[in-house]
């Protein structure tokens, strides 16, 4: 249908809605009108506190001042996730945003590390990772260097409600119109089925050319109105419940998320400047709500600030994330559970994908098909990475972990695991936001020990290799002396000038 896109209507004002409103208006300016409708009665999901490094690009694009952003959202720095008890109870490993070692020769660092280990070197892979070294010591500072050896990528933990409010201020200043009200009815074109207007409880109608469904788990436009199917992934990722509760902050703020596996499911601990975010993610097929409550409240380590709140969900994705004139972003587009903090990133990449192919004159099937294929691939690669954590476990203390170990997994993931186990090789897949350093850390951390590695690493004489690795390890330690404690960094950096 030939219809120029002059007005975009965003249904929903959670993280997804305000991220979309702010960036669309920033990029397209007076080329489009943007109106956002949200219901104060419904409110937002109110979780989603951990991010991954590309959020920095999003914030920079909006022109946010980093110190102001940290202040406005009670944010802290995230260098990694520490996975505790995932392989077996009592053991832990980090998935950092850094990369271990450095490029040494033909093959990636892990091959040289494996050779050195065989020659007697005791250091773990993580001893060569600056993110890990800082995380362990609770240190941080912004490292600006052209030397890749000292790169230290980071993300944030923040209060998602405050982030939404902050983005709202920016979006409204840029000209986005906010309308408060409950959407009760959705009108469609009788022939094309395109959405033409939203009707609010008080009778007001909001019409538009392109609609963005940011109504969260309700998926009011894409699924309820247009009837797009939900692709259920609970056979891979059976978590369907979360209990979330805030607790008092600790004296020392960790620069990483803790992910603590329990007999069933896992618990997040996310440090903000004013409190800790905590939650237990579990499957109700394996754990009752009462047991979940006991597990969460018995493992808080600081005083709860409220009673836990239950959130129910289903893992999977909306099978067509763009249908007719509706694009779904955020929880309406799917949810993979929060294990690797990828939902806010998926919102970001959805907005960027939409902007790259923004249909100014008309919405074509070509554009829709490309958008859908690209986002499907992105969701699937993240899904596979999350399954990896659950599937490759050695726990024997519950049916949950045994079932995870024995479940059928996607072919691509099975091949990736087999290749690494056989040869220590990892190849980056198109559209996978998790690059080889991430896969490496989780595969090793979960207990896969490669049976072999690249011959190029074996070609280096042991004495020479050990010396080089020792030099790298020393070099990685060097910046630590100039680092501040995480709390000191936050206090200094966010102090208003």
Binding site for ligand FAD (CB under 6 A): 12-17, 37-39, 42-45, 47-51, 160, 182-183, 214-216, 218, 220, 242, 244, 279, 311, 313, 330-332, 338, 341, 343-344
Smallest separation, CB 390 to ligand FAD (Å): 16
Q: Which is nearer to ligand FAD, 343 or 446 (CB)?
A: 343
Nearest to 212 by CA among 355, 338, 38, 329: 329
Smallest separation, CB 25 to ligand FAD (Å): 17
Q: 324-349 burial, b if ≥16 CB within 10 A, otherwise e?
A: bbbbbbbbbbbbbbbbbbbbbbbbbb
Q: Which is nearer to ligand FAD, 167 or 417 (CB)?
A: 167
Bridge pairing between strands 241-247 and 322-323: unpaired
Q: Which is nearer to ligand FAD, 21 or 44 (CB)?
A: 44
Smallest separation, CB 155 to ligand FAD (Å): 10
- Edge to edge, the sheet with strand 334-335 lists 230-232, 316-318, 334-335
Task: Give residue 46's region: left, alpha or beta (phi > 0; psi -120 to 50).
Answer: left
Q: Which is nearer to ligand FAD, 145 or 185 (CB)?
A: 185
251: tokens are 């004296």
Q: Which is nearer to ligand FAD, 55 or 465 (CB)?
A: 55
Smallest separation, CB 379 to ligand FAD (Å): 13
78 among known catalytic residues: yes
Q: Which is nearer to ligand FAD, 202 or 365 (CB)?
A: 202
| Structural element, H or E, at residue 137 | helix 130-137
In whole angstroms, give the CA distance from residue 371 to residue 16. 17
342: tokens are 């990828």
Nearest to 394 by CA among 403, 386, 402: 402
Smallest separation, CB 219 to ligand FAD (Å): 9
Smallest separation, CB 4 to ligand FAD (Å): 26
First vs last C-alpha separation in the chain: 53
Q: Cα dist. 394→90, 307, 397, 407, 424 in Å?
A: 12, 33, 9, 14, 20
Catalytic-role residue among 2, 25, 78, 117: 78
Please classify residue 285 by burial: count the beta carbons closer than 10 Å to its beta carbon, then call 0-12 exposed, 13-18 middle and 19+ buried. middle
The DSSP bridge partners found for residue 230 are 318
Q: Which residues are catalytic?
A: 78
């Amino acid at each position: 249908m030939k219809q120029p896109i002059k007005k975009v209507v965003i249904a929903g004002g959670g993280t997804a809605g305000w991220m979309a409103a702010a960036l669309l208006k920033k990029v397209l300016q007076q080329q489009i009108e943007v109106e956002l409708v949200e219901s104060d009665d419904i409110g937002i999901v109110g979780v989603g506190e951990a991010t991954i490094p590309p959020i920095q690009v999003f914030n920079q694009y909006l022109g946010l001042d980093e110190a102001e952003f940290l202040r406005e959202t009670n944010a802290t720095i995230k260098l990694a996730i520490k996975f505790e008890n995932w392989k077996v109870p009592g053991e832990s490993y980090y998935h950092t945003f850094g990369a271990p070692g450095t490029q040494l020769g033909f093959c990636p660092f892990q091959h040289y590390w494996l050779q050195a280990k065989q020659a007697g070197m005791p250091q773990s892979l993580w001893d060569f990772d600056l993110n890990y070294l800082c995380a362990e010591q609770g240190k941080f500072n912004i490292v600006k260097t052209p030397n890749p050896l000292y790169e230290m990528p980071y993300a944030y933990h923040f209060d998602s409600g405050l982030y939404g409010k902050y983005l709202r201020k920016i979006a409204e200043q840029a000209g986005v119109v906010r309308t408060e009200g409950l959407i009760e009815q959705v009108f469609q074109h009788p022939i094309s089925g395109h959405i033409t207007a939203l009707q609010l409880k008080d009778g007001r109608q909001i019409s538009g050319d392109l609609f963005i469904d940011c109504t969260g788990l309700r998926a009011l436009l894409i699924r309820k109105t247009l009837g797009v199917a939900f692709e259920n992934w609970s056979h891979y990722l059976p978590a369907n419940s979360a209990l979330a509760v805030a607790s008092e902050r600790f004296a020392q703020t960790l620069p990483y998320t803790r992910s603590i596996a329990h007999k069933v499911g896992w618990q997040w601990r996310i440090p903000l400047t004013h409190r800790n975010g905590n939650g237990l993610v579990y499957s109700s097929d394996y754990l009752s709500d009462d047991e979940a409550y006991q597990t969460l409240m018995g493992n808080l380590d600081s005083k709860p600030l409220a009673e836990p709140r239950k959130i129910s969900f289903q893992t999977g994705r909306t099978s067509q994330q763009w249908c007719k004139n509706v694009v779904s972003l955020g929880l309406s587009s799917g949810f993979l559970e929060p294990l690797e903090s990828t939902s806010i990133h998926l919102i970001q990449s959805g907005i960027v994908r939409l902007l790259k192919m923004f249909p100014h004159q008309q919405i074509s099937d070509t554009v829709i098909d490309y958008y859908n294929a690209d986002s499907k691939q992105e969701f699937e690669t993240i899904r596979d990475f999350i399954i990896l954590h659950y599937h490759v476990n050695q726990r024997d203390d519950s049916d949950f972990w045994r079932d995870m170990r024995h479940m059928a997994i996607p072919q691509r993931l099975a091949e990736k695991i087999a290749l690494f186990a056989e040869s220590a090789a990892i190849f980056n897949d198109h559209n996978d936001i998790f690059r080889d350093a991430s896969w490496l850390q989780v595969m090793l951390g979960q207990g896969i020990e490669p049976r072999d590695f690249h011959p190029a690493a074996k070609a280096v004489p042991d004495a020479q290799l050990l010396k080089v690795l020792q030099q790298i390890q020393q070099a990685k330690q060097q910046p630590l002396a100039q680092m501040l404690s995480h709390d000191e960094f936050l206090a200094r950096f966010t102090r208003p000038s």
